[in-house]
Structure 1
Amino acid sequence: MPGPVVSDHRARVPGGQVFARQWAVGESRKAPIVLLHDSLGSVELWRGFPAALAQATGRTVWAYDRLGFGRSSPREEPPSVDFILEEAQLYFPVIAAQLGLQEYALFGHSVGGAMALCIAAHQPDRCRAVIAEAAQAFVEERTLQGIQTAQQSFQDPTQFARLKRWHGEKARWVLEAWTGVWLAPAFRAWTLEPCLKKVHCPVLALHGDRDEYGSVAFPERIARGVQGPARMEVLPGCGHVPHREKEALVLEAVKGFLQGIP
């Protein structure tokens, strides 16, 4: 099977432009998969996973840089404590419309998984399925400790230079957007519960048993809280980035999960 055809796109959203990339496989009539990145992520940081996912599932795959990240327009103002819900209600519907995405399956990593579930809650007629990978469901002490540790590590100029490689001059905003919101006292009460109650599509919650940003209480809460069919899979010997650490297992799990979903 030949590799997917890769093409780059732009979508205009409130506040600027968003960069998106497509990995197309033939004339697939199945709902495409849209990837939603984590708090420090970008299209480029998915690396080879989107192409592998397209080939494994036979579906077109899309990924985009949220506003302020990667190759999308910069942002000056810090995100609000409602940024997860804002992505679902304000930005994603506009991006999907401009990219011609009528129906889709969502694959979200970390906070991208929380966003995917909120999108499914607010776009029930369009979202066919959600894969929530290493997604947070509430604010856990382990989450805060992991963020504080990472915050300290980025004081090292070498570590910060790695972030600049993916985000350029936006790197400082990206780092402060992540740590500033998650460590804010006003964010401590955040929970996915209101969105989970509105999710009726099939959901797969993937989580590493060594995730440094959250325990298996997260996928348990997600699987228990949604209204549609759901299952969780805990990957042994795996940290916070299963699609990189256990790519073959993730691809197999997603392929099996999406079988039978148009």
Structure 2
Amino acid sequence: MIAPDGVLEVAGTRLEARFMDGPADRPVLVLLHEGLGSVSQWRDFPDLLATASGCAVLAYSRAGYGASAPVSLPRPLSYMHDEAGDVLPHIISQLQGRDHVLVGHSDGASIAAIYAGSKPHAGLKGLVLMAPHVFVEDISIAGIRTARDAWETTNLRDRLKRHHGDNVDTAFLGWNDSWLNPGFRDWDITGFLPLITAPVLAVQGRDDDYGTLAQLDAIEQSCGAPVTKLVLDDCGHAPQKDQTAAVLDAICSFVTEL
């Protein structure tokens, strides 16, 4: 089993990780971070989630993020597909057969959807998709251009460096350059949705500046499993930060029903 704090080894790559164990009869909640995220950028959410749900919680930083091993740029435009197909299965295998629920935010939610919709997976009991992207919208590109302006004109790099250290340029540019690449406008993972067989909790804020509620509508209409939608007022692109209590309550209820 995974050590409480330390690293995961995936095909010779060292990934930063935090693991809080819990009862074996409850699923492990696996946190998949956003495009600029890391273990530390979940803040106290993993601890709050473990306490509220009574479940084990695993958070890790993908390669090129946080204190994980570096990667080379440019990232391929298939980076979320690659993560879902080549890395996440190795992460799940280290749970040693325990049931699990994927809790993804933004890019992490997309990775979870690709993984779940690629083929049936033993032990996968549910998906929590927070601010998910299943296709590219104009608002998504506008938000990412705004982030690029902040990177170039404000102290955003310094603020991100506190979480990513020497990976800071790779973390930001790998994500930002990919989304702003003209070829990325055709990125669309709705074809994976009909093959998802695990129940889904889809969460989005009404004030999300990276996507509209059309994302949740597409998931609800196309997903092959039951979908529970939660739309939150006074909430932007990070529901777990902007409406922590509501998100914790929703996840706990979802997991209990599973």
**1:1-262 equivalence runs, <5 A:** 7-14=4-11, 16-25=13-22, 27-100=23-96, 102-122=98-118, 123-156=120-153, 158-261=155-258
**Residue-by-residue CA offset, 1:182-224 (whole Å, 9 max, x unaligned):** 1111111111212112101100110000001000001111122
Secondary structure in 2 matching 1:228:
coil
**Residue-by-residue CA offset, 1:208-259 (whole Å, 9 max, x unaligned):** 0000100000111112211011121110111001101100000111111111
Structure 1, gaps ≥5 residues long: 1-5
Structure 2, gaps ≥5 residues long: none
Within 2, Cα distance between the matches of 1:120 and 1:22?
A: 22
Letter aligned with residue 31 of structure 2: L
Letter aligned with residue 45 of structure 2: F
CA drift at 1:112: 0.4
TM-score normalised by length of structure 2: 0.94
**8 A contact 1:124–1:199 mirrored in 2:** no
**8 A contact 2:33–2:107 mirrored in 1:** yes
CA drift at 1:157: 5.1
Letter aligned with residue 169 of structure 1: D
**8 A contact 2:73–2:174 mirrored in 1:** no
**Residue-by-residue CA offset, 1:35-92 (whole Å, 9 max, x unaligned):** 0000000001101101111111111010110011101100113221111111111001
Within 2, Cα distance between the matches of 1:50 and 1:13?
A: 22
Within 1, Cα distance between the matches of 2:111 and 2:99?
A: 16
Letter aligned with residue 64 of structure 1: Y
Within 2, Cα distance between the matches of 1:168 and 1:136?
A: 27
Within 2, Cα distance between the matches of 1:157 and 1:260?
A: 45
Number of corresponding residues: 255
- Identity, in percent, stands at 34
**Change in CA separation of 1:86 and 1:102 when aligned onto 2, cut-off 3 Å:** farther
Within 2, Cα distance between the matches of 1:10 and 1:159?
A: 27
Secondary structure in 2 matching 1:259:
helix
Deviates more, 1:213-222 or 1:97-106: 97-106
- Which structure 1 residue ranges, 4+ long, deviate > 6 Å from structure 2? none
Within 1, Cα distance between the matches of 2:157 and 2:12?
A: 26
**Residue-by-residue CA offset, 1:95-145 (whole Å, 9 max, x unaligned):** 222353543101000010011111212343231100000011100000000
**8 A contact 1:124–1:201 mirrored in 2:** no
Within 2, Cα distance between the matches of 1:194 and 1:222?
A: 10
**8 A contact 1:131–1:205 mirrored in 2:** yes
Within 2, Cα distance between the matches of 1:157 and 1:99?
A: 41
**8 A contact 1:10–1:18 mirrored in 2:** yes
Deviates more, 1:203-212 or 1:77-86: 77-86
